[in-house]
Structure 1
Amino acid sequence: MTPESDSLLLPAAMTIPSLLVQRATERGDHLAVRAGDVEVSYRELAQRAATTAEALSRHGIGRGDAVAAMCANRIEMIDLLLGCSWLGAVMVPLNTALRGAALHSVLEQSGARHLLIEPTFLSRLQQTRFTGESWILGTSSVPGPDDSRIPGRAADLAVTALDTAAILFTSGTTGHPKGVRCPHAQSLWWGAGVGASLGLGPDDVLYNGLPLFHTNALNTLFQALVAGGTFVLGEHFSVRRYWAQVADSDATVIYLLGAMVAMLTGREPGTDDKKHRATRALAPATPARLWTPFRERFGVELVDGYGTTETNLVLGTVPGDRRPGCLGTVRDGYDAKVVDDAGATVADGVPGELVVRTDLPGGFATGYLSEPPRVAGDWIYTGDRVVREPDGWYRFVDRVRDVIRRRGENISSAEVEEALARHPAVAQVAVFPVPSELAEDEVMAAVVLREGMQVDPDVLRHHVAPQLAYFALPRFIDFVSELPLTETGKVRKEVLRARGVGSGTWDADAVSSR
């Protein structure tokens, strides 16, 4: 283990049950999890895992078996995850936006024969060919820790750090969702790495309202468990109610995505802006221009870093050493480089694809479903374009798939978005390619204006002209009421690309030809 992990007292076995047992011994009476009205201490959390594991085993579930769940953020999701881990089974949290063929596909890929589901999603399940056993929340069929007749069982000591604890499906924004095999150790390394970056301690309260089928929220639980702190499972993100929710949770640390930071900053100032205890927020993909206004207005420091469902916190920062708009430096136990299309390492300052690897056992996911296990130490191509500065700091540029090719030049959609977002009338913006009559791409922007504000598209284009190369200026601009987002707050650019240029789209070429 690294010195960082030693200081956080990770268990030698690097499994979820071993972490639960260790924390129950050391922090038994401390509040571990709060979900709605349910509060669970560390001792109770381990007991709930043991009881849920026994209940699952009575349904014929054993080591390696997959158990799916489709429900909103509830304590039952945590019980199922920890109960499966205790037993050596595999939890499969499903995106609650899935339906039809996509839902059938992920259920089939996972191999799950048991499904925990909320009643509101039953009609979707009926559209699939799922023939396994369904446990409907709110009925007595749900195996869980509340049945006093079921004793707890001892954790399966045969479970190893490299055994799969969860299968997380990618969002599928560029194709069908892919199931990622996430081993026990990966969650513990997530907890240690992000915990060190945020400076977490046993007195911290972590509030996250992102859905538990997403690695961000799921790993917040393990950040709390590793630090011996408290995880508060929040509700669906609401701009209007967010700071009241943070205050009610008594959180010291919160979790946001860049789009959420923009929405909160764009909201009219309120009396609850600083009526909370939160001092820092993990907020990946937040533009540098928002860091200072967010801290001054809300009293919260933004923290960035780089990790994916398939990897871990590869790039990060530490308290007292952060740079707005930067991902950080390579963390101990990981390696990274920036490569061109041929796979050759590029010079510092030159954009390229980020490629990463780790020598930590179980530090990364072991691969995708239906694919052979990944060989430890293999390089992973992330699909993200970054720049490595000469001093070793990394800066995000764009997703590789979002690069726009126009007039022989590569254009970063993120760079154009950043320029447009500096206009005082712009609340949110997404930039994407649309087909050109001359082959290659044209640059198009979908813009959400701040409430009560207007701007002429030609004025907006001229506003960004001094900040961008001529070939990067958007030709097409659409004003929209909202951007299409995933359940985790990411802009669904494939929807915007499919929508393309409409009858109401402003066209700079049409204006100039008049």
Structure 2
Amino acid sequence: MEWIQQSDLLPFVLEQRAKESPDTIFLTHVDGDSLSYGQSYELSLLWAGALRDIGVGEGDNVLSLLPNGFATYHAWLGMSWLGAVEVSLNTAYRGHLLRYTIETSRARVLIVARRYLAAVAEIAEGLSQLETVVVLDDPADGAEVVGMPQKLVSEQEFFAGAAPIGPPGEAGPRQWTSSCIIWTSGTTGPSKGVILPWAEWYPFCEVVTSVTRADDVLYHFLPPFHVGGKILFYSALLRGFPIVMREVFSSSNFWRDVRKHGVTHTVMQGPMAMMLASAPESPSDADNPLRSMGCAPLPPDLPGFLGRFGLTGVNTYYGMTEIGLPFASAGFDLPGTDSCGRLRPGYEVRIVDEHDYPVEEGKVGELIVRADHPWTMNAGYYGMPAETAHAWRNGWFHTGDAFRVDEDGNYYFVDRMKDTLRRRGENISSFEVETYVNQHPEVAECAAVAVPSELGEDDVKIVVVLAEGSSLGHGELADWLAERLPRFMVPRYVEFTGRLPKTDATIKTKKAFLRQNANPENTWDREKAG
């Protein structure tokens, strides 16, 4: 990997594309709207001007609670020109989790789509630092909200009188400038806000651009509050191909979108590929323009998947918000569906025991990582110096993931050494699930654990000890949680038990025991219950 220059950073790449090909279409929404490079660049400067007019400046954190769409990325770019830092919020957040992330960010300004405003209004009285809420027009609309203590600014008011800032020149972001804060799952505590320097994005994008061609058309449906959505936007600019955008993944619309818009490449998560594979087969499955895709983890029957849909190849990888993508396959050359590839240039890794000493080749240990180049890994957890120091101990970033490597240099993700779950592309903190469950007045104690899903990754299971005398039912508890938790965090399985197994010394719940000793007679399945 070569040294990353300022001209390699996302805002400057867009600026260069706009200068070279101002009228070339860059963004197309499946609903019909489109923007050229020139229009996209001008909108980024207009956003910068409007944000500056409401007092946003260098070093300010600005919250965004927005769906995958054009405005989301232009808002991010506008902040970048000012040296402000976007704090991306998961659009499924509500209640305690939404309040916690907003308060922890210490931001004065929030940009929100109208459909999510009601969730903010529910907690507005408890937000001590938020001052201004900019409400964007939204095709999905939303209920009218009144009485919030924060100043509400409509989209029309926000842009009224705003003028694009002048060409930023070298005044824009630098490699070491913080680009955004993305929330990642907590394991033994609350979620943490990962600070990503601008330079960290470039090696992320190299994995996408290494398997794409200049004439590709990219299909993008990944959320902008995770790294995946931002990587695809950035990668398309670097490679110079257009994006076809849908707000969220839709298995029923996937192939229709691909055929209608001439899509040739996409990136998805393993459960999405499983949904496509589980659909009834059709003689026309391979009659589509899609050539290739990136996917992690890979579908178990990869040859069958490729043959059915007529794909040239699939590449795979492993990474985290904190570390980039240290492993990737060599293009479409895969050693097997269970490997996440080989070590990429620019990264150094070890697989170690609990004392950070390397384990023998082929043995399982924790993956730790560091980078050859500055600012290509995270700059810490925002407002959490102790957690940052713990993750970066001994000069290496500790992933908390169990890995092994074979004699040929292929790396394999084995399991999560932390108590994090991953469901349909979303990282879930067992701690946060347990926090919500324990708020129920008839719950004495609970533990959240991962259960393998038939779609790949995990489903959420809670093992619950009820308060004495409680007659609470499995379904009643699940319904109560569904009203309070983001959809992806709602448990699928509920098991009632008399006591949780504990360690003698630390009195910690033995989650490994719970995973290995399920009680099917006492376990309720939300999906089977309808």
Instruction: State which of 15, 18, 26 in structure 1 corresponds to 2:12.
Output: 18
2:375 matched to 1:362? Answer: yes
Q: Structure 1, residues 179-223: CA drift from partner, whole Å, max 9, x if none?
A: 111111112232223322xx2232222212121111111111111
Amino acid aligned to 1:338 = I
1:126 aligns with 2:121: yes
Q: Is the 8 A contact 2:6 2:175 kept in 1?
A: no
Distance 1:338 1:177 in 2: 25
Residue 428 of structure 1 and its aligned partner are, at CA, apart by 6.1
What do residues 35-93 of structure 1 show as CA deviations (whole Å, max 9, x unaligned)? 34332222222221111111110111011111112122221101101111111111122
Show the counterpart of 2:200: 186
Which residue, 213, 220, 225 being the options, matches 2:232? 220
Report deviation, 1:369: 0.4
CA contact under 8 A between 2:353 and 2:359: conserved in structure 1?
yes
TM-aligned CA distance change 1:337 to 1:143, over 3 Å: farther
| Partner Cα distance (2:319, 2:270) in 1 | 15
Residue 32 (str. 1) matches residue 26 (str. 2): yes
Task: Identify if the C-alpha distance between structure 1 residues 321 and 286 changes in structure 2 by more than 3 Å, giving closer, same or farther.
Answer: closer
1 CA distance for matches of 2:347 and 2:110?
A: 36
Equivalence for 1:262: 274
Equivalent position to 1:89, from 59, 84, 87: 84
Letter in 2 for 1:399: R
* Alignment correspondent of 2:44: 49
Shift of 1:33: 2.0
Which amino acid letter does the alignment assign opposite residue 242 of structure 1? F
The counterpart of 1:177, out of the listed 191, 206, 211, is: 191
Deviations 1:124-156 (A, max 9, x none): 112222342111122972389976862333326
SS class of match (1:364): coil
What residue identity is the alignment partner of 1:351? Answer: V
Distance 1:157 1:144 in 2: 27
Q: Structure 2 CA distance, aligned partners of 1:144 and 1:322? A: 53
User: For the Cα contact (< 8 Å) 2:461–2:492, is it kept in 1?
Assistant: no
Q: 2:291 aligns with which of 279, 285, 298?
A: 279
Alignment of 1:69-108 (within 5 A): 69-108=64-103
> 1:111-130 CA deviation, whole Å, 9 max, x = no partner?
22111212222221122223
- Aligned partner of 2:250 in structure 1 is 238
> Counterparts in 2 of 1:388-427, with a 5 A limit?
388-401=405-418
Residues 1:380 and 2:397 aligned together = yes
Indicate which of 342, 349, 352 corresponds to 2:355.
342
CA contact (8 A) 1:351 1:386 kept: yes
Match for residue 252 of structure 1?
264
- Judged with a 3 Å threshold, the aligned counterparts in structure 2 of structure 1 residues 144 and 362 are, in CA distance, closer, same or farther, namely farther
Aligned twin of 2:309: 298
What residue in structure 2 maps to residue 135 of structure 1?
134
TM-score by length of 1: 0.75
2:111 maps to 1:116: yes
Q: Which residue number corresponds to residue 450 of structure 1? A: none
Distance 1:358 1:367 in 2: 14
Checking the alignment, whether the CA contact within 8 Å between 1:52 and 1:145 is kept in structure 2 is no
Local SS of the residue matching 1:219: helix
Question: What is the distance in 1 between the residues matched to 2:40 and 2:176?
Answer: 23
CA offsets 1:423-466 (integer angstroms, 9 cap, x no match): xxx6668589998xxxxxxxxxxxxxxxxxxxxxxxxxxxxxxx
Post-superposition offset of 1:172: 4.2
Question: Judging changes above 3 Å, is the alpha-carbon distance between structure 1 residues 212 and 427 closer, same or farther for their aligned structure 2 residues?
Answer: closer
Partner SS for 1:314 = strand
Alignment deviations for residues 319-355 of structure 1 (CA, whole Å, 9 cap, x no partner): 2522222111111111111112222111221111111
> What SS class does the counterpart of residue 126 from structure 1 fall into?
helix
C-alpha displacement of 1:502: 5.8
Report the residue type matching 1:218 in the other structure. K
Instruction: Give the letter aligned to residue 235 of structure 2.
Output: Q
Cα distance in 2 for partners of 1:400, 1:376 equals 17
Summarize the Cα distance change of 1:341–1:431 in structure 2 as closer, same or farther, 3 Å threshold: farther
- TM-score relative to the length of structure 2: 0.73
How far did residue 304 of structure 1 move?
A: 1.0
Q: 1:81 to 1:68 in 2, by over 3 A?
A: same
Q: Which residue of 1 aligns with 2:144?
A: none
Q: What does residue 311 of structure 1 align with?
A: 323
CA 504–216 in structure 1, closer or farther in 2 if over 3 Å, else same: same
1:68–1:115 Cα contact (<8 Å) kept: yes
Task: Give the whole-Å Cα distance in 1 for the aligned partners of 2:369 and 2:490.
Answer: 25
Deviation at 1:498, TM superposition (A): 6.8
- Structure 1 distance, partners of 2:273, 2:355, is 36
How far did residue 106 of structure 1 move? Answer: 0.5
Q: Aligned runs of 1:148-187 on 2, under 5 Å?
A: 150-155=163-168, 157=171, 159-172=173-186, 175-187=189-201
Q: Where does 1:431-442 land on structure 2 (aligned, <5 Å)?
A: none
CA change 1:44–1:338 in 2 (3 A) is same
CA RMSD in angstroms comes to 3.5
Most deviating of 26-35 and 145-154: 145-154
**Contact (CA 8 Å) 1:311, 1:364: kept in 2 or not?**
yes
Distance of 1:90 and 1:498 partners within structure 2 = 42
Q: Secondary structure at the match of 1:169?
A: strand
Contact 1:192 1:223 survives alignment (8 Å) = yes
CA 1:346–1:19: 2 relative to 1, 3 Å:
same
Could you tell me whether the CA contact under 8 Å between 2:264 and 2:292 is conserved in 1?
yes
Indicate the SS of the match to 1:397. strand
C-alpha separation in 2, matches of 1:329 and 1:19: 29
Q: 1:327 — aligned with what?
A: 340
Shift of 1:382: 0.9
The change in CA–CA distance for 1:110 and 1:276 in structure 2 (over 3 A counts) is farther
Give 3-state SS (helix, strand or coil) of 1:381's partner.
strand
2:318–2:328 contact (8 Å) kept in structure 1: yes
The 8 Å contact of residues 14 and 160 in structure 1, kept in 2 or not, is answered as no
**1:297 counterpart letter in structure 2:** R
CA distance in 2, matches of 1:207, 1:396: 27
Quote the residue 2:424 is aligned against.
none
